Structure 1
Amino acid sequence: MNNKFTKLVMSVTLSFSLLLGGTAAMQAKPVSAATTSQANSMISTAKKYLGTPYRFGASTSTTRYFDCSSLMKYLYKKQGIYLPRESKDQAKVGKYVSKSNLKPGDLVFFYKPIHHVGMYIGNGKIIHTYGKPGVMISSIKSGWWSQHYTTARRISK
């Protein structure tokens, strides 16, 4: 009798797990790398905001000011790609990409623990926002940003 009860519990548990797992899988979005045209569009849009003031904790419903993660969330959302709100959570999305294999549109992350994000735009440069002058372009090949580089992610739709 104990053996039958154990089998019943295991059967119910497995069925429940499959049901929940299947539901989660149906909600998952298909994975494909952001296209070159999407990256170019995001970079072009980001450049329109050069000089837009930085504000920590900026609302994602405004473009009058940004913080680093709200800027990335905004740019990707315009391409139909939805990112989490905070940079530490954005760093968990997509696939890891090495610094030597960065492509325009990849997200690059700084500090440990992660609390800054920018978008790689090519030629060793990122567009991001931090302090003054707000949205800006910086190099990750040398200096401060190079020293504090942590990781990068290629985000999928």
Structure 2
Amino acid sequence: MAKHRRQNKTTRRIAIASTAVAMGATAISPAVAGAAEVQIPETGYTVDVPGLENVPGVQDVPGYSDYVVQNNTAGGSSAPAAPASEGQRIVEIAQSKIGAPYVYGASGPNAFDCSGFTSWVYAQVGKQIPRTSQAQASAGTPVAYNDLQPGDIVSFYGGASHVGIYIGDGKIIDALNSGTPVGVRTLDYMPFNNAVRF
């Protein structure tokens, strides 16, 4: 007669999470030979997830680089996961302030106006940019609407009276106005003026 080991709730959760991660990735991309090694939070376990690096937009998921340990190739060798781009780091920092209050003239770290928000986020990656929305819109390298990349600064209305940070998928994060906390809005929420990259 075989002995059965009783699983506690933690072991069961780990097994379920590991299976779900592995099955989900297999369903998404079953034919890919490579695999990404994903660390399951708070468990010390890792799971090889075939094709994870080929899932569109997966590297834009907040915390991606914290949990994807490495990419394994079909030959068994491995390489470290690519570091987040500077634009992606800008987006992650901006996302960390979602819900912070709008306060006219504030430039962080706990409250912001629109250009105070963009200048504070950029300062966190070591970039000093002008403080006002008009100065930000006229500095940096101009970027066409169709060439926007995460981390670009987008200005709105004639005269660039408002700015936000492009995060991809036709969305921005900004400090909109009094009574509206820092949040995500669609790019077409306001009239587009121009975009710049620093």
- What is the TM-score normalised by the length of structure 1? 0.69
Contact 1:95 1:154 in 2 (8 A): yes
2:63 paired with 1:63: no
The alignment covers a number of residue pairs equal to: 115
Cα deviation digits, residues 87-140 of structure 1 (max 9, x gap)? 100112111111011000110000111110001000000010112331000011
2:87 paired with 1:87: no
Residue equivalent to 1:151: 194
Residue equivalent to 2:13: none
Q: Which has the larger radius of gyration?
A: 2
Contact 1:108 1:153 in 2 (8 A): yes
Residue equivalent to 1:138: 185
**Equivalent residues in 2 for 1:7-156 (5 A)?**
37-58=85-106, 60=107, 62-131=108-177, 132-140=179-187, 142=188, 144-145=189-190, 148-155=191-198
Distance 1:87 1:36, change over 3 A: farther
Structure 1 CA distance for aligned equivalents of residues 102 and 93 of structure 2: 17
Structure 2 CA distance for aligned equivalents of residues 78 and 153 of structure 1: 18
Contact 1:52 1:133 in 2 (8 A): no
Quick one: higher RCO (CA 8 Å, sep 6+), 1 or 2? 1
Contact 1:118 1:127 in 2 (8 A): yes
* Alpha-carbon distance, 1:36 to partner: 5.9
After superposition, the CA RMSD in angstroms is 1.6
Cα deviation digits, residues 52-94 of structure 1 (max 9, x gap)? 0001111x3x312100101111111111111111010011211
Percent identity over the alignment is 35
Structure 2 CA distance for aligned equivalents of residues 40 and 96 of structure 1: 19
Unaligned 5+ runs, structure 2 = 1-82
Structure 1 CA distance for aligned equivalents of residues 123 and 161 of structure 2: 20
Structure 1 CA distance for aligned equivalents of residues 101 and 143 of structure 2: 29
